[in-house]
Each structure stands twice: as C-alpha cells, then as structure tokens.
Structure 1
Amino acid sequence: MRILIIGGNGQTGRFVVDEALQRGHKITALIRNPSTLSAREGLKIVKGTPLEPSDIETAFSVVPDDIPTAVIVTIGSSKEKGTRLMADTHENLIAAMKRHGVSKIATLSSFGVGSSLPNITVIMRWAISNTELANSFADHNHVDEILKKSGMKFVLLRAARLTLGRKAPVRFLGDDGKGLGLFAGMGVEKDGSCPVRKHVWFIGKRASIAMYNSSAPYEQQNCYDAE
C-alpha cells in the first residue's frame, strides 16, 4: 500500500518513513524542502506544505495509478499564539481524503491533549496552562475535535515523550492515558523504560503510548497493515 506521510523529514517522521519502507509499503512524503529527505526506492517526495490544499492534492495524485490509502501525520505544532498549524493541516487533509475515498489517518498527538490532561503531572498541567505550550496544546485539541467529527478511521497517538534509546515494552492505553506513569512526561515509565522514537510504528508497535482508535477504541491492532 502507499501511505502519505506529512512531516517525513522531521525527527520522528524519518523513522516512520524508514519503518514503512522496511515493511514493504510505498511512501509519498509532502515536505517543504525535498533536499532534507534522502531519495530511495519506494519513496516519492513532493515539495509543498500541508497548509496549501493544492499541494496536498498534488501529493495524492502525483502517482495516478497508486494513490495513498492511508495518511500519517508526524508534524508538531507551533508555540505561537493562535497557531492552527495542526488544525488547518488536518482540515486540508480530510477534505482531500474525502475527495479520493481515503479513510485512514494516524496523527502523532501528545500526552496531555484531550481527556488525557488530568493524568499528566501537576507540573505539566501548569506548563500547559501558563506557558507557550498552551498554544500548541490548543492546536492539538482542535485536531482531536476535527478528527472525531470527521467520519475518518483515525488513530491519535498520545506520546508522552519520544527519545532515542533502547526498545521499550509495548503497552496500549486508552484515550485518557491512565496508567502511563508518574514520570511519563519526562520519558520514564514506571518500569524504567522509555518510549523510543526510532522504534515507533503507527500504531506504536514498540512504544509506550496512549491511544485512541476511532474504529476500535483501545484495541491492539495495526490498521495500516490490515485490509
């Protein structure tokens, strides 16, 4: 299958691209600067931004006989006041997905977004309310609302922290992230493991994440390998 990846040249996106190609998928990556991602077999790079609907349309149609059948978003939000980077990206993506009959989307969110807010540390809750983080988290919360009203088969991955390191045990949690651990926001689990960026595969085959899956809430599955 072909997957459209938004943010494929970012710190996490690069590993998602690598993993997808290793699994035999074909990738279309929409990025601003094509020189920041190495060309290779199975990867089609499209120059553009997800904030421009015409660029997203190009990404869907650049390989006429092989349009993407799923979308993965790994971009992060801005800390600027009033930012809608993530929200506008998803509105543009959903419009294009509906035009092309594509229904699967996975988005890298954050622990503390949506109903997971009460389960993060007091320090992080304070930071989300009183620092620039409030702007990016507001944007992420808009994405939650947009996806849950979209009719898409979506997955929100509420990563506490993604770091480079050893593999971590796999644990799937609900939308509220209950049980992730007191120090999850610092990247440390109760068992001493860390979520590891280089082993992340949506739906998180080797990362500890809080997950909301629209088609099967809290169930272990990989909707990108399934029919």
Structure 2
Amino acid sequence: MRVLVIGGNGQTGRLVIDEALQRGHKITALIRNPSALPAKEGLTIVKGTPLEPSNIESAFNAVQGDIPTAVIVTLASPQVKGTRVMTNAHENLIAAMERHGVSKIATLSSFGVGSSFPNITVIMRFAISRTSFKHLFEDHNQVDMTLKKSGVKFVLFRAARLTQAKKAPVQFFGDDGKGLGVFAGLGGDLEG
C-alpha cells in the first residue's frame, strides 16, 4: 500500500514514515524542503505544500501506476490569529482524494479539539481560551468539522502530548477522549 504523508519532515511525521516503511508500506511525502528528509528505500519525496492544490496533485501522481490509497497528516498549525493552514490543507487534500478515488485519511489533531474539549484539564481549557493556543485549536476544530462533512473515512488522533516514550499498545478513547488522562501521549514507537 502506498500512503501520502503530509508534514513528514517534522518529528511525528518522521516517526510515521519510519513505522510505515518498517511495516512494508510505500510512502510519498509532500514536504517544503526535500533535502531535510533523508532518502530511504520505499520513500518518494515531493517538494511542495498542501496549501497548493497542484503540489498535492503532483504528490498523488509522483509514482506512475501507484497512487496513494490513504493519506496521513502530521502538520502543525501555527498559533496565529485567523490561521487556516490545517483547514485549507484538508480541503485541498479531500478534493484531490475525491479526484483519485481515495477515501481514507488520518490526521494528527489534539486532545481538546471537538467533543474532547470538556475532558481536558482546567489549565488546558484556560490556555486554549486565553492564549495563542486558541488560534491553533480553532483551526483544528474546523478540520474536525470539515472531515465529518466530507464523506471520507477518517481518523483523528487526539494526542494529549507527544513524547519519545517506549513502544506501547494503541488505545482508543472515542471521539470525546473520556478517560484519556493528562499524561497520555504518542510515543516514539507504535504498536497495533
């Protein structure tokens, strides 16, 4: 299976790429600076941004006869008022997915987005409502709604925090994240 990874140059994106390659998948990574990601067998790197539809199209067509069958997004959203980086990227990705008959997308989101907001700590609720985190979460909330309305099959990974922890089993807490806990996170290795 070939997977298109968006945001593959960041810490989490690199973990996702490495894990997928170890599991025998082929990866196409759309990144702004191709020289920042080391070449690996099974990895096709395409220069570009998901904010530009033609770059996404190039990524889908990068390997003739081997179009990605799923998309994984590990982008970070800037903490800037009015940002729509994640939302615009997802709108562009969904349009390309529809053109290519791809129906699966997995997106790194955050605990506190959408219906998980009531289950985060009071300190995080304060930070989200009173600091620049607010802008990041507004963008992520819009992505949540965009995916739900799109008709594509999606998974939102709502990690509470990202760490370089040891491998642990994947746990599912539902859309609201009830029972997740404040110290939950995504470790450096994934099982499941």
Instruction: State if a TM-score over 0.5 links the two structures.
Output: yes
- What SS class does the counterpart of residue 140 from structure 2 fall into? helix
Question: How does 1:55-70 map onto structure 2 within 5 Å?
Answer: 55-70=55-70
Shift, 1:64, TM fit = 1.9
Q: After the TM superposition, which parts of structure 1 deviate over 4 Å for at least 4 consecutive aligned residues?
A: none
User: Shift of residue 76 of structure 1?
Assistant: 1.1
Q: 3-state DSSP class of the match of 2:151?
A: coil
- Distance, in Å, in 1 between the alignment partners of 2:29 and 2:90 is 15
The answer as to whether partners of 2:165 and 2:189 remain within 8 angstroms in 1 is: no
User: Which consecutive unaligned segments of at least 5 residues does structure 2 have?
Assistant: none
Alignment of 1:1-227 (within 5 A): 1-181=1-181, 184=182, 188-189=183-184, 195-200=185-190, 205=192
Give distance in 2, aligned partners of 1:166 and 1:154. 26
Alpha-carbon separation, structure 2, partners of 1:22 and 1:43: 11
Partners of 2:12 and 2:39 in 1: how far apart?
A: 17
**Structure 2 length normalisation: TM-score?**
0.97
1:146 match: secondary structure? helix
Identity %: 72
Q: How many Å separate the matches in 2 of 1:6 and 1:62? A: 14
Q: Distance in 1 between matches of 2:187 and 2:49?
A: 24
Q: Gaps (5+ residues) in structure 1?
A: 190-194, 206-227
In the superposition, the TM-score normalised over structure 1's length comes to 0.82
Which amino acid in 2 is paired with 1:25? H
Q: What's the C-alpha RMSD, in Å, of the aligned pairs?
A: 1.1
Distance of 2:122 and 2:81 partners within structure 1: 23
In the TM superposition, what is the alpha-carbon distance from 1:94 to its structure 2 partner?
A: 0.3
**2:190 & 2:44 partners in 1: Cα distance?**
21
**Separation in 2, partners of 1:134, 1:165:** 27
